[in-house]
Amino acid sequence: MRLQNKVAIITGAGSGIGKATALLFAKEGAKVVVANRREDKGQATVEEIKKQGGEAFFVKTDVSIWEDVSNMVEKTIEKYGKIDILINNAGVVRFSPFDKTTEEDWNYILNINLKGVFYTIKKTIPYMINQGKGKIVNIASIAGLVGFEQIGPYCASKGGVIALTRQAALEYAKNKININCIAPGVIRTEMTGMLEDKQQLMFYQSQTPYPRLGEGDDIGYLALYLASDESDFVTGQTFVADGGWTIK
Ligand SMILES: NC(=O)c1ccc[n+]([C@@H]2O[C@H](COP(=O)([O-])OP(=O)(O)OC[C@H]3O[C@@H](n4cnc5c(N)ncnc54)[C@H](O)[C@@H]3O)[C@@H](O)[C@H]2O)c1
């Protein structure tokens, strides 16, 4: 198993990409800390992991609240004594034209998608420094690399995550802490509920050269490589998994 006895915190693991990653990591031997804002969803992920014979527990966490992030990390240390892997996956999106986007929209998106990543890294890194090793994977988006209409704060937040990844990776490479980023294209999850509309589905598929859209596991397997010892010499990078959206 590729993550035998590793302790992995995964934020937003109650659904979509985070849940797929949590199930995969548990199968590969990791003890998974399911951190989610919604308790019902987080607990459901823990139950599924246990059903498949894995080890996991849930911590109710809103990544935009410092006290919650502190509690998430402290509970992990209390239970497992270490943190090997942090997957910063929690994220939200709202659609609106730029001039109709409110300050509240901006703060909501940036606080979760970008400040949340700052908080979790800030709180986790001292433990990883002490351990002499660590793996952090930030889930950004191709919206941090190319423009998308109607999601200004989301694009800015994901561009920020990509920049923060490079910066933090540079600062902590000497501590053998690898910090990388994944930029997914369109993945079928709760976030992409618009795909239930046939016209929207056809539009997003038409923009994706590969003949299907993404699934949670498409990102989970890349996260697995970046969280495992196999990627020790890889840091500060952004890996695009988008079925070819950005190569056109
Ligand atoms: N689905 C896509 O097409 C796509 C594309 C690119 C990037 N992403 C990114 O992938 C990540 C996962 O998204 P998804 O598609 O699986 O969506 P999702 O809505 O299924 O999952 C997001 C999860 O994060 C949780 N969450 C939201 N705000 C939170 C907070 N403040 N604190 C803790 N948990 C919180 C939600 O409860 C949910 O379980 C996000 O960062 C998203 O921006 C998704």
Evaluate whether 34 touches 9 at the Cβ level (below 8 Å): no
- The alpha carbon torsion through 27, 116, 154, 15 (nearest 10 deg) reads 30
Q: Is the CB of 138 under 6 A from ligand 1?
A: no
Q: Is the CB of 189 under 6 A from ligand 1?
A: yes
Q: What secondary structure letter does DSSP report for 214?
A: B
Residue with tokens 């659609």: 95
Report how far residue 14's alpha carbon sits from residue 90's, in angstroms, rounded to the nearest whole number.
9
Task: Give per-residue pLDDT as tens, 52-99.
Answer: 999 999 999 999 999 999 999 999 999 999 999 999 999 999 999 999
CATH superfamily for 7-247 is NAD(P)-binding Rossmann-like Domain (3.40.50.720)
From 80, 127, 154, 172, active-site residue: 154
Q: Which atom of ligand 1 is nearest to the CA of 187?
A: 3
- Please state the rounded mean pLDDT for residues 153-161: 99
Report how far residue 174's alpha carbon sits from residue 49's, in angstroms, rounded to the nearest whole number.
34
Q: What are the structural domain ranges in the chain?
A: 7-247
Task: Give per-residue pLDDT as tens, 187-245.
Answer: 999 999 999 999 999 999 999 999 999 999 999 999 999 999 999 999 999 999 999 99
Q: Is the CB of 137 under 6 A from ligand 1?
A: no
Q: What secondary structure letter does DSSP report for 53?
A: T
Report how far residue 239's alpha carbon sits from residue 241's, in angstroms, rounded to the nearest whole number.
7
Query: What's residue 164's pLDDT?
Result: 99
- Please state the rounded mean pLDDT for residues 155-174: 99
Separation of CA 13 and ligand 1 centre (Å): 8
Q: Which atom of ligand 1 is nearest to the CA of 63?
A: 32
Task: Give per-residue pLDDT as tens, 32-50.
Answer: 999 999 999 999 999 999 9
Whole-structure pTM value: 0.99
225 is catalytic: no
Helix-helix angle 103-110:152-172, to 10 degrees: 30
- Please state the rounded mean pLDDT for residues 166-174: 98
Query: What's residue 46's pLDDT?
Result: 98
Strand order across the 134-139 sheet: 55-60, 31-36, 7-11, 85-88, 134-139, 177-184, 238-241
